[in-house]
Each structure stands twice: as C-alpha cells, then as structure tokens.
Amino acid sequence: MKLGILGSGKGSNCRAILEAIRDGKLKAEVAVVISDVFDAPILGIAREFAVPNAFLPPGHFRTRLEPAVEEQLVKMLRDADVDLVVLAGFMRVLKAPMLQAFPRRIINIHPSLLPQFPGLEAWKQALAAGATETGCTVHYVDDKIDHGDVIRQIKVPVLPNDTAETLHARIQAAEHELYPRAIAQLAAS
C-alpha cells in the first residue's frame, strides 16, 4: 500500500509510521510527504527517511486550501500513485476535490475518543470536562471536522494529577502506537 502523508507540524506521527515501515511492522511504502508549511519539521523527517517530499503553498485561507491548490494536491497524490492519504497533523479542512478523488481513502488521527471532544486541543477539552478517560481515534475523513467512521481507538486514562502537557504526551504516545496499526489493518483488508 502506497501512502501519501500530509502534515503541518512536527511530524511525530509521520515518524512513527516511517519507523514501523522500516522495522517491518507495517507493510506499506510512503510515496510522498506534503506540507502546507514551508519549514515544517515533518518535511525534515521525510528527508531523513529519504522519502520524496514537497511544500504546497496553501493560498490565502487559514483553515483550508484554496480550491486550485486542493486540485494541485490531488494531482500530486495521484502522480505519486497513492492508495491511502494519511493526515498527520494536517491543519486544514479538506473539501470536495480531495474527498471526491480519494473516497474512503483519507484517514486522520485525532487526540480523543471521537465523537467526544472534536476540534482543537482535545486533551484540554477532556480535562475541562472532568473526563476520567480519553484517548485517540483513527477515522475516515468526511465533509465534517473530526467526524468520519471510526477505524480504531485506544483509551488513555486521565490521571488525577494530569496537566494538559502530561495528558497530551500520553495521548501522543498512544497515537504513535495506534496509527501504524490502523494503517496495517487497512492494508490487510
């Protein structure tokens, strides 16, 4: 299975996926890593693993790509012969061009047990709500934010002395375990 990874930030989930492939735990290949942030660390991780990578200027919108840019993203992923699009901290909402080009072939990881706590900083939402457990979810991307069908989840307890930072760190550790497993599940089906 050929993966196209999209990310906007530090790329820790991208690294976890690439390490799982390198270590023989995930039978897949990352065909391309694309970021909407010019100097995003995720692009450096791609270079470290000798994976083709590219910066895609997002345009003028803050939370989504301009339509022409999203069409360009579709072309880049198709040119790389990608089977599955993997969002790894990609901070833009995908619209019709991507959703139509890759139906049920775009997945995301979110730091909560969806449908609980969609949106930004879900670990802070969980703390504010007094939740006793949270976790992370791999799900299909649809036309709503943090909404599509769940593929896999891992629960993470909220400890009495947790801060936003400690809870987030434990959720990220769970994400690094969950994402490669979920991709392996999809590759085997």
The predicted structure's pLDDT at residue 161: 96
The predicted structure's pLDDT at residue 71: 97
What secondary structure letter does DSSP report for 80? T
The predicted structure's pLDDT at residue 96: 94
Query: Which CATH superfamily hosts domain 1-103?
Result: Formyl transferase, N-terminal domain (3.40.50.170)
Is there a catalytic annotation at residue 139? Answer: no
CB 180 within 8 A of CB 26: yes
- Give 165-174's long-range contacts (Cβ < 8 A, gap of 24+): 167/123, 167/126, 167/127, 167/134, 168/111, 168/123, 171/111, 171/123, 171/134, 171/135, 171/136, 172/12, 172/111, 174/135, 174/136
The predicted structure's pLDDT at residue 146: 94
CATH of domain 107-189: 3.40.50.170
pLDDT tens sequence across 82-106? 999 999 999 999 999 999 999 999 9
Catalytic residue among 60, 110, 139, 147: 110
Indicate the angle between helix axes 164-188 and 122-129, nearest 10 degrees: 120
In the chain, which stretches have pLDDT less than 50? Answer: none
Cis peptide, bond prior to residue 157, ω within 30 of zero: no
Locus of tokens 């990352």? 30
pLDDT tens sequence across 45-66? 999 999 999 999 998 998 999 9
Instruction: For the chain, give every domain's residue range.
Output: 1-103, 107-189
Sign of CA dihedral 110, 115, 138, 160: positive
The predicted structure's pLDDT at residue 189: 85
Report CA dihedral (93, 102, 1, 51) to the nearest 10 degrees.
-50
Judged by DSSP in three states, 106 sits in strand
Do 1-103 and 107-189 share a fold?
yes
pTM above 0.85, yes or no: yes
